[in-house]
């Protein structure tokens, strides 16, 4: 997290690169699917004229309240409290079948979410073991830690945290929770420090388990798969999809999604005639973009950011 971020701020990562990737046109229609504190959204709006349009989504009511207050007097901007997997319904709310010239996903949690101990995302600060981005909705991390079977905990820690000590940590959780359920972030983080080590320098031993619980509690990977498909359907020809991910599980999904749609359906590979439905639908725009040393020095959170960009092709046109 950026040392310069305060409780209410979030420094947008790769901002000039995102603006270039989206190729923002003054009268275009854009979607920021992860408003956060609107660092990217604000910069997009600045480029729009009166008939340009920006839809902003976030599943966190605190982010949405900030967006609504900020853009209350701006008729170009509409704000939705919604998971981004439901972006088509939000777009339809403005105009049935509305499509976009550019769609941005800046995945993960924001600095204000991470820095607020009451949200329970951080293993560095004590708070309730919550981790829900959709504040107050659905099971908490404590529900998972105290309720899931040992086998399920191992699966979560392995699949979403790539945690090599998953069995050891899950066993210790099940043993400890029998006498007292886990309620606080630091209870869990300190227990993990006792039973597991990290071989990664500068990483707290609880890093991977906290990441895994967060991904599981928020259904992050399923959300991303569904949202990429929905976004793809809602791009105009030459519309741009820009996705910033912060860990390899997300980046793999984004990379595979873009590559799949940028290729001919393998059933037709090598055949002289490729029907329109089997032709590539996306063009990859450059390689994955990472922050330079100046940005990572200013904002350490940018260190793990990876921006991937693709452009929607005209139907039936080869890449
Ligand atoms: C990294 S922050 C975005 C920061 C933003 N680009 C800025 O410059 O301020 C990610 C935001 O996306 C939201 N978010 C994450 N997953 C979401 C999902 N599935 N649906 C909607 N919002 C989501 C989080 O609540 C968080 O506010």
Mutational pocket test of ligand 1: of 42, 58, 291, the residue with most ligand atoms within 8 Å of the beta carbon: 58
Containing 307, the helix (H) or strand (E) segment is strand 306-312
Residue with tokens 């990429």: 228
Distance 83 CA to ligand 1 centre (A): 9
Which amino acid residue places its CA nearest to atom 2 of ligand 1? 110
Residue of 31, 34, 54 to mutate, ligand 1, most atoms within 8 A of C-beta: 34
The predicted structure's pLDDT at residue 201: 75
> What pLDDT, in 10s, does the model give residues 105-155?
999 999 999 999 999 999 999 999 999 999 999 999 999 999 999 999 999
Distance from Cα 172 to the centre of ligand 1, integer Å: 33
Cα(63) to ligand 1 centroid in Å equals: 8
Residue 250, Cβ neighbours under 10 Å: how many?
A: 20
Query: Which pLDDT does position 8 carry in this prediction?
Result: 57
DSSP state letters, 54-72 = EEEEES-HHHHHHHHHHTT
Q: Which atom of ligand 1 is nearest to the CA of 82?
A: 21
Give the list of residues 6+ apart from residue 104 with CB closer than 8 angstroms, or none. Answer: 18, 22, 30, 31, 32, 33, 34, 40, 44, 242, 243, 244
What number does the ligand 1 atom closest to the CA of 60 have?
Answer: 25
Q: Which H or E run includes 150?
A: helix 150-161
User: Which residue's C-alpha comes closest to atom 8 of ligand 1?
Assistant: 39
Task: Give the per-residue pLDDT at 3.
Answer: 36
Q: How far is the CA of 62 from the centre of ligand 1 (A)?
A: 11
Note the Cα 157 to chain centre separation in Å: 19
| Angle, alpha carbons 7-10-16 (nearest 5°) | 165
232 CB contacts (<8 Å, ≥6 apart)? 241, 257, 261, 281, 282, 312
Q: What pLDDT shows up at residue 211?
A: 97
Q: Which atom of ligand 1 is nearest to the CA of 32?
A: 6
Instruction: Give me ligand 1 centre to Cα 177, in Å.
Output: 32
**Which among 110, 112, 222, 291 is the best mutation to test ligand 1's pocket, defined by most ligand atoms within 8 Å of the CB?**
110
> Strand, helix or coil at 244?
strand
Predicted TM-score (pTM) of the model is 0.94
Mean pLDDT of successive 10-residue segments in the chain (319 residues)? Answer: 49 97 97 98 98 98 98 98 98 98 97 95 96 95 98 98 96 98 98 87 91 98 98 98 97 98 90 89 97 96 96 71
- Return phi, psi of residue 311, to 5°: -120, 135
Please give the structure tokens belonging to residue 250.
Answer: 């997300």
- Angle of helix 248-261 versus helix 220-233 axis, rounded to 10: 30
Here the tokens at position 182 are: 């886990």
Ligand 1 pocket at CB < 6 A: 10, 12, 34, 36-40, 57-60, 63, 83-84, 106, 108-110, 133, 223
Q: Which residue is closest in CA terms to ligand 1's atom 12?
A: 34
Distance, in Å, from the CA atom of 162 to the CA atom of 191, rounded to the nearest integer, reads 19
**What does R_g of the chain's alpha carbons equal in angstroms?**
21
The per-residue pLDDT for 314 is 85
């Amino acid at each position: 997290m950026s040392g310069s971020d305060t409780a209410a701020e979030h420094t947008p990562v790769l901002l000039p690169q995102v603006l270039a990737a989206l190729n923002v046109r003054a009268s275009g229609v854009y979607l920021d699917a992860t408003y956060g504190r609107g660092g990217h959204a604000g910069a997009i709006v600045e480029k729009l004229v009166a008939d340009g349009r920006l839809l902003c989504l976030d599943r966190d009511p605190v982010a949405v309240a900030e967006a609504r207050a900020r853009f209350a007097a701006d008729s170009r901007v509409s704000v939705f409290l919604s998971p981004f997997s439901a972006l088509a319904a939000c777009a339809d709310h403005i105009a049935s079948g509305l499509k976009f010239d550019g769609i941005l996903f800046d995945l993960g949690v924001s600095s204000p979410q991470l820095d607020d101990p009451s949200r329970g995302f951080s293993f560095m600060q004590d708070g309730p073991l919550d981790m829900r981005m959709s504040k107050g909705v659905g099971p908490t991390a404590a529900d998972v830690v105290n309720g899931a079977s040992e086998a399920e905990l191992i699966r979560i820690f392995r699949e979403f945290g790539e945690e090599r000590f998953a069995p050891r940590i899950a066993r210790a959780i099940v043993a400890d929770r029998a006498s007292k359920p886990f309620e606080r972030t630091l209870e869990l983080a300190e227990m993990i420090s006792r039973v597991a080590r990290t071989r990664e320098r500068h990483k707290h031993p609880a890093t991977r388990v906290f990441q895994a619980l967060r991904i599981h509690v928020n259904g992050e990977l399923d959300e991303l798969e569904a949202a990429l498909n929905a976004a793809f359907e809602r791009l105009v020809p030459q519309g741009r999809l820009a996705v910033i991910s912060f860990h390899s599980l997300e980046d793999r999904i984004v990379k595979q999604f873009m590559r799949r749609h940028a290729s001919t359906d393998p059933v037709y590979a090598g055949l002289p005639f490729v029907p329109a439905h089997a032709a590539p639908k996306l063009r990859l725009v450059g390689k994955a973009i990472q922050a330079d040393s100046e940005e990572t020095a200013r904002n350490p959170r940018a260190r793990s950011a990876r921006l991937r960009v693709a452009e929607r092709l005209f139907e039936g046109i080869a890449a």
